[in-house]
Amino acid sequence: MNFQLCDKRKAIIAEPGHLLVLGGPGSGKTTVALFKAQKRFPTLKPGQEILFLSFSRAAIRQVLLRCKEILKPAERRAVTVQTYHSFCMDILRAHGRLLVGRPVRFLYPGDERLQKAAFDGDWEVERQRQAKEAGVYCFDLFAHGTAELLERCTALRNLIGDSFPMIIVDEFQDTDDNQWRIVAQLSKVADIFCLADPDQRIFDYRDDIDPLRVDGLRTALAPREFDLGGENHRSPNAGILKFANAVLHNQTPLPETEDITQVRYWPRAFASTVHACVVFTFSELRKLGVQNPSIAVLSRSNALVSDISMILSEPHSYNGRDLPVIEHDVVWDAELSAAAAIVVASILEWPTQPSQKSVSKTLRCIAAYYKLKNAEEPTKTAAEVAQKYEAAAAKVAGEEKPRINAAKEMLALHQRGLQLVGDPVVDWKSARRVLQDISALGELFREVRLVRLFRATDALASGLLNKWLASGNYEGVSDLVQGILEQEKLIAVERDPRGCILMNIHKSKGKEFDGVVLIEGAFKSQFFDERKEVYPYERSRRLLRVGLTRARSRVTILRPHGARSLVGPA
C-alpha cells in the first residue's frame, strides 16, 4: 500500500486523548489508527494492550492484514482486534454473574428463532426476562448486557481501562444505541479513537442506529477532529471514488472514467449478459496485470444473488461467444439455507434406512425449516406448513398414509431408490434433486442452491467424503452436516478474497476486491427502492457508494433498459 505520512497524519499520531478521524473509503483511516497504536506501544505497561473494535469479521480480517504490513511482531501481539459481539461475549462470560448472580448462558440466533416461533406472546419482553432472571442472553442483547455492566460497575470499567488504555472504534457511524453506551463508558477510563465515514451509513433503517451518532460523539467526548476528506489510497489512480461520490450526492453529469463500464440489458438476455459482464471484468483486470484477480458480484438482495449463482453455474453464449461455467463463492445470510442443507443431508441417508424411518426424518427436517422460517418472519402460513410436515412425519413413522402430496411423492421417490456413487458433489446434487422434483419443495431447493460443495464449502465436501470412505454410505450425515455448518459458520465465513465472490451489497462493507460487478434486476433488487424511499433516495445512494468503492481497479454496472438514471431529477 502506497501510504505517506503527511503532516496531517503525523498530527493525528501525535495528538493525545480522544480522537475522531473522518474519511471516505480508502482514505487510510485504519492505517493511520495502526500507526497511532504503534506510537502508543512503548508506553504500554506489562499486560496492557490496545483494543480495536469493528463490526464484521471481514473488517477484522482487513485490520489484521494491515497489522502485518505496519506493525512488528511484538507490536501486533499488543493489539487485540475484535468484533463488538466477540468483545461483549467475553465480558458477559467473565463478569455477567455481577448482573444476575450466576454465570450467564448464550442463546444463539438459530436457537432463538426456534424459541421465538414456539413462544406465544411478546418475544421482546420474554428475551429481556430471560436475560434478567435466568442470565440467558440472546445474540442481540450482548451489547445491552455489557453496557449495563459497565454503567453499574466502576471496578469493571476501571479493569477494562487498565487492560486497554487505548480503544480504536471502527465504522463509528454505524454503532447502535447499546454499542454507543459501551463506548461512552469506556471513554471514562481509556482514550477513544473513532474512525467514521457518515456517507457509509447504511444501517440507519434500524431504530437503534442514530443518523446523528457522530454529532453525539462530538457533544459527549469533545474529541480532537481530523478530516482525511476524499483521499483514496485503495484506488488512487482510478475515477471510482469520484464517480461514487457523484452518485451519492446526485450530481450531474457523472464523471467519465475508464475504470467504470456501464452495460444495459433486455430482460430476455439477462443471464447471458450477467455471465458476459463477469467474464469481461476478469479480462479487464488481467489486462491491467492483476494476477489472480478477485471480483465481487453484488446486488441489493439475496434473491438476486441466488439467481446469479445459478447463472454462473451454467454455460451461456453471448454475441456468438461461448461462456464457460464460472466457479464462485457465495457469502449470504443463510440460516434457512443451512436448514435446507440438513434436509438434503437427511435424503443422503435414505439408502441406509427403511422408508418409515428415513422419510419421516426428512419430513421432520422440513418441518424444522418452516419453524425457522416462521421464527424469522412469523406468518400463519409457515406455522401451518410446519405442522403439516410434522403430522406427515408422524404418519409415515407409524406406517400410515400421509395426507400431503409432498410426503406421498417422497415415499415414491424413496421406493424408486436414490443412486449414490461416493462423490460428495454428485451425490449432494442427486439428493438435492429430490427437492427439485417435488413442486411443493421448490422453496427449499432455491435456498439450498446457495450451499455450494466447491471451494466455498471444502469442510462439508471433505466430511461427506470421509463418511463414505469409512462406511460406504452416508448414514448419520444429517448430524455431521449440522455440526459442520455450525462449526465453520459457513454463512459468514471470511477468507482471502480470490476469484469470483457473490454477496449482497450490505455484506460487502469492509471488504476490498480488484473488481466489482454491480447488478440491478429488472423486476427485483432495483438500485433505488421506490417502495420504501422517496426521491432523491439517499439511503439507496449511500448503499450504492459502498458497493462501488469496494473496487480497487474496475467496476462494471449492469442495469436493465429503461432503469432510472443513476443521477438526475426525479
Across the strands, what pairs with 295?
500, 515
* Three cell numbers, residue 125: 419482553
Instruction: Give the SS3 label for residue 170.
Output: coil
CA angle 339, 342, 346 (to 5 degrees): 145
Cell 467496476 -> residue: 555
Q: Please choose, from the candidates 147, 144, 137, the residue with its C-alpha nearest in 3D space to the C-alpha of residue 108.
A: 137
The Cα–Cα gap between 381 and 202 comes to 32
Between the alpha carbon of residue 1 and those of residues 27, 66, 77, 244, 366, the distances in Å are 12, 9, 22, 22, 49
Write the secondary structure of 42-81 as one string of H (helix), E (strand) and C (coil).
Answer: HHCCCCCCEEEEECCHHHHHHHHHHHHHHCCHHHHHCEEE
Burial 315-351 (b: 16+ CB within 10 A, else e): ebebeeeebeebebbbbbebbbbbbbbbbbbbbbbbe
Q: How many residues does the chain have?
A: 570
Q: In the 8-state DSSP scheme, what is residue 256?
A: P
- Of 551, 493, 517, 24, the C-alpha closest to 280 is 517
Q: How far from each other are the two terminal CA atoms of the chain, in whole angstroms? A: 40
CA dihedral 521, 523, 528, 531 (to 10 degrees): -150
Considering the chain, what is the average pLDDT of its residues? 88
- The rounded distance, in Å, linking the Cα atoms of 342 and 336 is 10
Q: Where are the beta strands (DSSP E) in 95-218?
A: 105-107, 136-138, 166-169, 191-196
CA-CA distance, 537 to 528, in Å (whole number)? 6
Task: Specify the pLDDT at position 327.
Answer: 86
pLDDT of residue 209: 83
Neighbour-count burial for 393-409, b at 16+ CB within 10 Å, e otherwise: bebbbeeeebebebbeb
- Helices 154-163, 84-95: axis angle to 10 degrees equals 130
pLDDT of residue 233: 58
Global pTM value: 0.63
Which residue bears the cell 480480517?
61
Could you give the CA distance from residue 317 to residue 322 in angstroms, rounded to a whole number?
Answer: 4
pLDDT at 490: 41
Q: Is the peptide bond before 315 cis (omega within 30 degrees of 0)?
A: no
Neighbours of 421 (CB within 10 A): 9
Smallest CA-to-CA distance from 203 within 185, 179, 167, 233 is with 179
Closest listed residue to residue 223, CA positions, set 244, 199, 192: 192
Q: What pLDDT score was predicted for residue 455?
A: 42
Residues of the chain with pLDDT under 50: 1-2, 453-456, 490-494
pLDDT at 235: 64
The full DSSP string for 310-377 is HHHTS-EEETTEEE----EEE----HHHHHHHHHHHHHHTGGGS-HHHHHHHHHHHHHHHHHHHHHHS
pLDDT of residue 258: 92
Quick one: cell of 201?
A: 451509513
User: φ, ψ for residue 299 (rounded to 5)?
Assistant: -145, 175
Query: How would you label 36-51 residue by residue, b for 16+ Cβ within 10 Å and e otherwise?
Result: bbbebbeebeeebbbb
Please give the grid coordinates belonging to residue 178: 447499546
Confirm if 112 and 127 have CB atoms less than 8 A apart: yes
Q: Is the peptide bond before 25 cis (omega within 30 degrees of 0)?
A: no
- Dihedral of alpha carbons 146, 150, 155, 160, sign: positive
Interatomic CA distance for residues 246 and 193, integer angstroms? 29
pLDDT of residue 453: 44
Angle at 346 between CA 344 and CA 352, to 5 degrees: 130
Measured between alpha carbons, how far is 7 from 16 in angstroms, rounded to an integer?
Answer: 16
pLDDT reported for residue 63: 82
The predicted structure's pLDDT at residue 140: 86
What residue type is 395 in one-letter code? K
CA 171 – CA 187 distance, rounded (Å)? 17
Q: What is the CA radius of gyration of the chain?
A: 26
Could you give the CA distance from residue 396 to residue 406 in angstroms, rounded to a whole number?
12
Confirm if 463 and 469 have CB atoms less than 8 A apart: no
Q: How far apart are CA 553 and CA 454, in angstroms?
A: 27
Q: How far apart are CA 519 and CA 530, in angstroms?
A: 17
